[in-house]
Structure 1
């Protein structure tokens, strides 16, 4: 059998293996609107709906679980989940996770501040003495993580972080631009909290699968189908619905004594 035919056959068997065994692909993710979230018991979001469409085209049934991010990572480590949605690439997890060549979306990390307590900044030095709200399970750059200039204070949810900022319990919080803007509307805090103009880092979000038998072929097939779908009008309509068009230009922060990144990955199992 020609090599190409053998590869195509292997890909087909990998994609059919779950349905053949009566199994579903077990995926975990944290609510991260507008990329993935639940509303009235229905799963929604740009990356969720994109992933669901791609797997439907591949003939793969998926079982979803929405959990706090640290729980998602623990389930991956324990083999209780086959993959995670909206995970950043991390060399620390390259030995256990497979990433397709095509990302699902791009995010921009920024700071949010209370309107009556603004804290303009351009470098890490400008954050001296402040308390920054973070998210458990997110891996920040070594400079940000190890700095003694400021305090990092995690909150159990993104909503809790914004509540703490509004009540003055933290000075700033760090999160994705679109996630933060969505929460300002959801929590009705737009008149109290604003987004700092500096972009701290850019990151690509992926669907990643555990390195199990046949998963490498499934990841390749997923990436190829995702790339095709993103060229279709249906994807453009989906992106427009979730406001995932180009975001306004903003300066990229260049912290002193750092590599230019304040937040890097979302994959740490520790705050």
Structure 2
């Protein structure tokens, strides 16, 4: 009898660490957007590193999936994921999702053909140009509103790499892009080597866009958002 109790006691002790390490998983869908996000990047990108750090501090486990951006949005709105990231604040107004506190900043501007530079006092000054954008991406609210009103003319590509090549090949005069993304692609993407001496980032910044998580507009989404926001305030402010 004593031997049975010893075995039972040993089994209980053996299972306790496993129980202690069981954490709630938060399923987040993202895209390939280096250096911010990417399946093969160190720590899966600077944004994912920060997101994981905040969830870890909240006692939650991040489970990240990478999909093309439009598919990622579809998967999120279909309810497959708890959140989608990173997004600009305008995404919350478009989709009625719950926007987190900002955890990072994206400097947004235009890539241009060297040695060209463009200056403007208001965005309407660019009305005569065909401006490259990426399908499904939000830009600044002012820019997107002018596009919707057909004040600005855009040329849509599937990704930032394509827009860099379009500018290099003089198919369009400029394209809107995150400066960090541009610098990363030019330094790491061999397919852009031929464009390295032709394309540059325009000195005038369009704006700095804060990056957020977009949570499901549900009771669970609100709880996860509150936990994430609490850690963002503690860790990144």
Q: TM-score range by the shorter chain?
A: 0.7 to 0.9
Report deviation, 1:60: 2.1
Report deviation, 1:65: 1.6
TM-score (norm 1): 0.68
Equivalent position SS for 1:85: strand
- Measure, in 1, the Cα distance between the counterparts of 2:207 and 2:102: 16
Q: Deviations over 1:24-50 (max 9, x none)?
A: 32211122222222337x652221111
Cα pair 2:38 2:44 within 8 Å, conserved = yes
Equivalent position SS for 2:154: strand
**Alignment-derived partner of residue 147 in structure 2:** 144
Equivalent position SS for 2:218: coil
- Measure, in 1, the Cα distance between the counterparts of 2:230 and 2:161: 35
Q: Deviations over 1:178-236 (max 9, x none)?
A: 212222222344422111111212221012210223321221111111222226xxxxx
**Alignment-derived partner of residue 5 in structure 2:** none
**Alignment-derived partner of residue 80 in structure 1:** 80
Report deviation, 1:54: 1.9
TM-score (norm 2): 0.76
Q: Deviations over 1:104-131 (max 9, x none)?
A: 1112210110115x25231445434422
Name structure 1 gaps, 5 residues minimum: 1-18, 232-271
Is 1:203 matched with 2:209?
A: yes
CA separation of 1:124 and 1:212: change in aligned 2, threshold 3 A:
closer
**Alignment-derived partner of residue 161 in structure 2:** 159
Cα pair 1:86 1:104 within 8 Å, conserved = no
**Alignment-derived partner of residue 120 in structure 1:** 118
**Alignment-derived partner of residue 35 in structure 1:** 36
Q: Deviations over 1:60-98 (max 9, x none)?
A: 223212122211211122112211111112352463x22
Cα pair 1:184 1:193 within 8 Å, conserved = no
Match runs of 1:242-253 below 5 Å: none
- Measure, in 1, the Cα distance between the counterparts of 2:167 and 2:35: 21
CA separation of 1:200 and 1:145: change in aligned 2, threshold 3 A:
farther
**Alignment-derived partner of residue 221 in structure 2:** 215
Cα pair 2:27 2:63 within 8 Å, conserved = yes
- Measure, in 1, the Cα distance between the counterparts of 2:166 and 2:95: 35
CA separation of 1:26 and 1:121: change in aligned 2, threshold 3 A:
same
Higher helix share: 2
**Alignment-derived partner of residue 170 in structure 1:** 172
- Measure, in 2, the Cα distance between the counterparts of 1:105 and 1:50: 8
CA separation of 1:128 and 1:220: change in aligned 2, threshold 3 A:
closer
**Alignment-derived partner of residue 109 in structure 2:** 110
Cα pair 2:132 2:154 within 8 Å, conserved = yes
- Measure, in 2, the Cα distance between the counterparts of 1:79 and 1:34: 27
Cα pair 1:29 1:66 within 8 Å, conserved = yes
Instruction: Identify the range of structure 1 (79-88 vs 185-194) with the bigger mean alpha-carbon deviation.
Output: 185-194
- Measure, in 1, the Cα distance between the counterparts of 2:166 and 2:70: 20
- Measure, in 1, the Cα distance between the counterparts of 2:64 and 2:28: 5
Equivalent position SS for 1:73: helix
